[in-house]
């Protein structure tokens, strides 16, 4: 070592903050759940992706279910949008609803998190209620409240089932014809069906 070199500092390097560590683990979990679904993802693989010991993942998040609940933070707020969709011209509600959903999913960041939720919910009985609860509370109840019909809940559920099928086929299963179709084309084709469910 050169004669005038500064002495090496002793002690541990700067500790990674709790916030940094949680963010790293959540990012790894997003990748793992997205690629493998809920059943295929493991805490060990998530820890490996994050570059930490699996015990640390359990320390910060508890069980895999706990980690999944924090990982799936979909930035879609239908509660804020549905009133506006329903308040516009009544004969355009179906098309506006379909366009909103598709345009949200066209955003890569939103789509990535949404696909994580869909794959997990479709593949595991423990996470299906998570998706169902979200849809019921934030979407179906709000749509039904805006309809003047005795079977409003059924109408809202049928409309949501049409859009859910579209989302799964286009963004999860990626069926070629749907995956390659434009948003405008799908709005024109699916919108009238949603309209009929809501008001027909």
pLDDT tens profile 123-154: 666 667 656 666 677 778 888 988 888 999 99
- Average pLDDT in the 153-170 region? 93
Tokens of 77: 């707020």
Contact 122, 33 (CB under 8 A): no
Q: What is the pTM of this model?
A: 0.64
Residues 6+ apart with CB under 8 A from 86: 93, 143, 146, 147
- How many Å is the Cα radius of gyration of the chain? 22
The CA distance from 15 to 32, in Å, is 25
The CA distance from 124 to 37, in Å, is 9
* 69-88: pLDDT as tens digits: 777 666 566 767 888 898 88
| pLDDT for 5 beyond 70 | no
Name all domains of the chain by residue range, CATH numbers in brackets: 18-71 (1.10.10.60), 78-199 (1.10.357.10)
Contact 160, 143 (CB under 8 A): yes
């Amino acid at each position: 070592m050169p004669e005038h070199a500064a002495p090496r500092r002793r002690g541990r390097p700067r500790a990674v903050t709790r916030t940094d560590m949680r963010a790293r683990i959540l990012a790894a979990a997003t990748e793992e759940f997205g690629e493998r679904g809920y059943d295929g993802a493991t805490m060990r693989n998530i820890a490996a992706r994050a570059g930490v010991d699996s015990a640390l993942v359990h320390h910060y998040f508890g069980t895999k279910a706990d980690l999944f609940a924090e990982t799936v933070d979909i930035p879609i707020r239908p509660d804020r949008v549905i009133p506006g969709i329903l308040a516009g011209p009544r004969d355009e509600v179906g098309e506006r609803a379909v366009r909103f959903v598709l345009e949200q999913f066209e955003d890569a960041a939103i789509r990535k998190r949404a696909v994580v939720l869909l794959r997990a919910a479709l593949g595991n009985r423990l996470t299906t209620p998570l998706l169902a609860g979200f849809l019921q509370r934030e979407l179906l109840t709000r749509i039904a409240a805006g309809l003047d019909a005795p079977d409003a809940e059924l109408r809202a559920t049928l409309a949501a089932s049409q859009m859910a099928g579209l989302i799964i086929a286009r963004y999860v299963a990626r069926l070629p014809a749907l995956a390659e179709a434009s948003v405008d084309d799908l709005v024109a084709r699916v919108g009238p069906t949603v309209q009929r469910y809501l008001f027909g």
